[in-house]
Amino acid sequence: MTSMAAAEFIAGGEVLARCRRRSELTQAQLASRLGTTASAVSRWERGHVEATFDTVQRAAATCGVSLAAVLREPAVDQHDVSLLESTLALTATERLRRLVGHVRFVEAARDLVHARCPP
């Protein structure tokens, strides 16, 4: 899981896109509320034009989301997407079996570490 919570690493357009997705608005709907066009929103989100902080603040308010919360949120990277795709290929039972295998591995590893270095 990527931990990209620091706001300085996030482009304005990405933050704007996260606000829009959180509120499940289309680009056209957000554009309408901001008094602009869907293509302008698309250009911000794709980074073709840098969205100003003021624009992003207005977008967050329009979307009814907390800008601070969005800025704290880690991003989804390609590794996460690959993991998601492999999980979606499994049945519910297979997902649970994999989870059990993971948890038991973690517990065994933790026990090993504690045995060698007691807390």
**CA-based nearest residue to 33, from 15, 52, 11, 60:** 60
Q: Which residues contact 82 (CB under 8 A, 6 or more apart)?
A: none
Closest approach, Cβ 21 to other proteins, in A, equals 6
> The tokens of 38 are what?
């869907």
Which of 22, 29, 32, 34 touches other proteins by CB under 8 A?
22
Q: Which of residues 52-91 bind other proteins (CB under 8 A)?
A: 69, 72-76, 80-81, 83-84, 86-88, 90
Span from 26-34, 35-43, 44-52, 97-105 in contact with other proteins (CB under 8 A): 97-105
Tally of CB atoms within 10 A around 80: 13
Work out whether 102 is an interface residue with other proteins (CB under 8 A): yes
